[in-house]
Amino acid sequence: MNITIRRSDQDDFTAILSLIKEFAVFQKTPEKVTITLEQMEKERELFESFVAETAENKIIGFASFYFTFFSWSGKGMFLDDLYVTEFYRHQKIGSRLLNAVIKLAKEEGCKKMRWQVSGWNENAIGFYKSIGATIDAVEINCNLDLIDVSG
C-alpha cells in the first residue's frame, strides 16, 4: 500500500476535521469536539500536523502537535492527537506518523516529547511502550474550558 506522510496544509482541514470527529467517537467522547472548520482556518497558524495520504489523495490519518517549553527540560513537542482510521490500522501508518513528529522534534532541538493516552487503550499503551515511551501513572490531566467559564 502506497501511503505518503507529509505536513498538512489548509486544504487538508476538512478531511482532518472529519478524522478528529471520528477519533472522538473512537474515544467515546464525540460531544467534546467543539472545533469548527471556520475556527481551524482562523487559527491556522497554530495548527500543525502531519497527514497520512493514500495514492488516491485520501487522508486516512493525522498527527497534530505543537512546540512548547517544559520548565524542567526546555524546548519540547506536545503530540496532541495521533489517529489512523480503522480500515488502515495495523499497517505501521501510526508509527510512520509518530516517527515524522519525532524526527521534526529532534531537528528542531526539542529535548522531550509529551502526549496523553487513554488508560483503557491497551493497544496504544503497548505501542508507545514499544518505542521507549514512559507511561506516567502519577500525572492527572486538568482541563479548564474557557469558553463557558464565568468570571
> Residue 128 — φ and ψ, nearest 5°?
-65, -40
Query: What span, in angstroms and rounded, lies between the C-alpha atoms of 91 and 121?
Result: 18
Sequence-distant (≥ 6) Cβ neighbours of residue 135 within 8 angstroms: 117, 125, 128, 129
121: its cell numbers: 487503550
117: its cell numbers: 493516552
**Residue 59 is inside which H or E element, if any?**
strand 59-70
Query: What span, in angstroms and rounded, lies between the C-alpha atoms of 51 and 61?
Result: 6
For the question of residue 128 being annotated catalytic, the response is: yes
Q: Which residues pair with 51 in a beta bridge?
A: 6, 62
Instruction: Name the active-site residue from 66, 83, 88, 128.
Output: 128
Q: Which residues pair with 113 in a beta bridge?
A: 77
Catalytic machinery residues: 128
